[in-house]
């Protein structure tokens, strides 16, 4: 159970992270850093400036559009971070992935995700509708004469079930279990930072592995928003349904971003928000696990360069505002 008796009042931070192969990535406003536990036990840490075009193009800050752009930047950064961890986590050179192999892995992963989470649910739902028109009365409402809202609802529920099954399935793999533990270390470290506690294992391990701003919760919200959005789109045939889902994914992600990051993130103590995000928080029990102290050490190693960079920027800004501080 979380013990925050020695903590300062909670202040939410914009710093977020991602679990990697034997490592953690942390991202702030100005930079991002990766820490990876190498086979020899040492921790490799590297920090990079965060380059964003949002400040240069005001339209990228518009509601919904900013969510789409944030998703793009997050995916691009995740690929870079994964490439770094993959290059240091392997025991031998043969086990370490090349940049080309990592690139192909990402491309294949995107196609598999579209196939499993968009095409497959649509095919299964269409199959149920076919049964409804060929002798299974209870499924008739899914057939061509049925209402598209029901079709989209069943399609969405199948997608959620497949997502749960996928998370549960990969969670049985030992390597993924370690990634989930690093995921827990990332969340705990951010919790400790938000509560103003020292970033050491003694304080960090007091916290739970669940966090409101987790990407797992965001993915579940994407699926819920998708059910609503897709239900508003005409569905003349199966291929139109599949194509429209792919094309509308950016809109769905943008709306989910506005709900989970912009609205819920700014009203996290609101009972309505807590209720809305409760399913996503519970889903994190499948994607996070208790870390050991060595994993927490890696998460802190990734967090520290981000904190140092932002503190240095704040100090420079304070001096620029009041030059007398230099004397």
Judge whether 325 lies within some domain: no
Alpha-carbon distances of 247 from 13, 176, 199, 283, 310, rounded to whole Å: 33, 31, 43, 27, 37
Start-to-end CA span in the chain (Å): 47
pLDDT of residue 193: 94
Judge whether 78 lies within some domain: yes
For 83-102, write each residue's pLDDT tens digit: 899 888 765 555 555 566 66
pLDDT of residue 76: 85
pLDDT of residue 303: 97
Judge whether 311 lies within some domain: no
Residue 30 to residue 276: CA distance in whole angstroms: 31
Query: What are the structure tokens assigned to 97, written together?
Result: 């992935």
Asked if residues 299 and 35 have their Cβ atoms less than 8 Å apart, the reply is yes
pLDDT of residue 7: 47
Asked if residues 226 and 252 have their Cβ atoms less than 8 Å apart, the reply is yes
Judge whether 79 lies within some domain: yes
Residue 35 to residue 73: CA distance in whole angstroms: 20
Domain count, the chain: 1
For all residues of the chain together, what is the average pLDDT?
84
Judge whether 13 lies within some domain: no
Judge whether 217 lies within some domain: yes
Asked if residues 209 and 187 have their Cβ atoms less than 8 Å apart, the reply is yes
pLDDT of residue 127: 87
pLDDT of residue 217: 87
pLDDT of residue 276: 84
Listed residue (72, 93, 74, 16) closest to 303, CA to CA: 16
Q: Looking up tokens 């950064």, which residue turns up?
A: 77
Low-confidence ranges of the chain (pLDDT < 50): 1, 5-7
pLDDT of residue 1: 47
Cross-strand partners of 20: 23
Cross-strand partners of 27: 16, 32
Radius of gyration of the chain (CA): 22
Residue 269 to residue 238: CA distance in whole angstroms: 42
- For the entire predicted model, the pTM comes to 0.85
Judge whether 123 lies within some domain: yes
Asked if residues 298 and 36 have their Cβ atoms less than 8 Å apart, the reply is yes
Domain that holds residue 164: 22-304
Listed residue (255, 254, 275, 273) closest to 264, CA to CA: 273
Instruction: Name every residue whose Cβ is closer than 8 Å to that of residue 225 and which is 6 or more positions away in sequence.
Output: 252, 255, 256, 259
Judge whether 10 lies within some domain: no
Residues in the chain, total = 327
For 18-44, write each residue's pLDDT tens digit: 999 999 999 998 999 999 999 999 999
């Amino acid at each position: 159970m979380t013990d925050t008796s020695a903590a300062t009042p909670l202040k939410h931070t914009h710093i977020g992270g991602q679990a990697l192969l034997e490592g953690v990535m942390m991202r702030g406003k100005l930079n991002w850093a990766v820490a990876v536990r190498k086979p020899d036990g040492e921790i490799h840490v590297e920090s990079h400036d965060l380059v964003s075009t949002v400040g240069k193009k005001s339209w990228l800050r518009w509601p919904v559009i900013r969510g789409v752009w944030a998703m793009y930047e997050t995916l691009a950064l995740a690929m870079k971070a994964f490439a770094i961890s993959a290059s240091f986590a392997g025991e031998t050179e043969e086990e370490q992935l090349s940049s080309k192999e990592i690139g192909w892995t990402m491309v294949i992963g995107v196609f598999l995700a579209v196939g499993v989470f968009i095409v497959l649910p649509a095919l299964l739902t269409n199959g149920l509708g076919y049964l409804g028109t060929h002798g299974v009365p209870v499924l008739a409402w899914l057939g061509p004469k049925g209402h598209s809202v029901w079709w989209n609802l069943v399609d969405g529920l199948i997608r959620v079930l497949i997502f749960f099954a996928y998370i549960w399935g990969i969670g049985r793999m030992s390597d993924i279990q370690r990634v989930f533990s690093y995921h827990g270390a990332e969340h705990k470290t951010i919790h400790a930072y938000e509560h103003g506690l020292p970033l050491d294992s003694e304080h960090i391990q007091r916290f739970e592995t669940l966090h409101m701003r987790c990407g797992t919760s965001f993915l579940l919200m994407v699926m819920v928003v998708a059910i609503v959005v897709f239900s508003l789109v005409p569905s003349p045939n199966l291929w139109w349904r599949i194509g429209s889902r792919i094309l509308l994914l950016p809109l769905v992600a943008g709306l989910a971003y506005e709900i989970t990051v912009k609205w819920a993130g700014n009203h996290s103590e609101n009972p309505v928000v807590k209720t809305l995000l409760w399913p996503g928080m519970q889903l994190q029990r499948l994607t996070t696990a208790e870390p050991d102290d060595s994993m927490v050490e890696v998460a802190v190693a990734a967090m520290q360069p981000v904190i140092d960079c932002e503190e240095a920027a704040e100090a420079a800004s304070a001096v620029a505002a009041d030059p007398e501080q230099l004397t």
